[in-house]
Amino acid sequence: MLILTRRPGESLYLGDNIKLKILSVQGKQIKIGLDVPEDMTVYREEVYLKIKEQNKQALETSQQDLLAAAALWQEIESRK
């Protein structure tokens, strides 16, 4: 991993079209400003990893459990 030291107000460029600016440091929080191309997605790592894991689990559901959940939902709905 490349490690650089920056002060608030200083920026970095990743290639030609990504600018990353350190806006402020307050205690343990760092505020970062990003200028990225419009079609580029930026994810918070913890959110990205959680969704990735949930996608994986949605893939692994067995057909039997899937039908059981659908039946269960129908049962609950019919009681309403």
SS3 8: coil
Are the CB atoms for 22 and 9 separated by under 8 Å? yes
Stretch that binds other proteins, among 4-12, 17-25, 27-35, 71-79 (CB under 8 A): 71-79
Site for other proteins in 20-49 (CB under 8 A): 38-41, 43-44, 47-48
Beta bridge partners of 65: none
11 binds other proteins (CB under 8 A): no
In the complex, least distance from residue 6 CB atom to other proteins, rounded to whole angstroms: 23
**Neighbour tally for 66: CB within 10 Å:** 11
In the complex, least distance from residue 67 CB atom to other proteins, rounded to whole angstroms: 7
Q: What whole-number distance in Å separates Cα of residue 77 and Cα of residue 26?
A: 50
68: tokens are 């059981």
Which positions touch other proteins (CB under 8 A)? 38-41, 43-44, 47-48, 50-59, 61-63, 65-74, 76
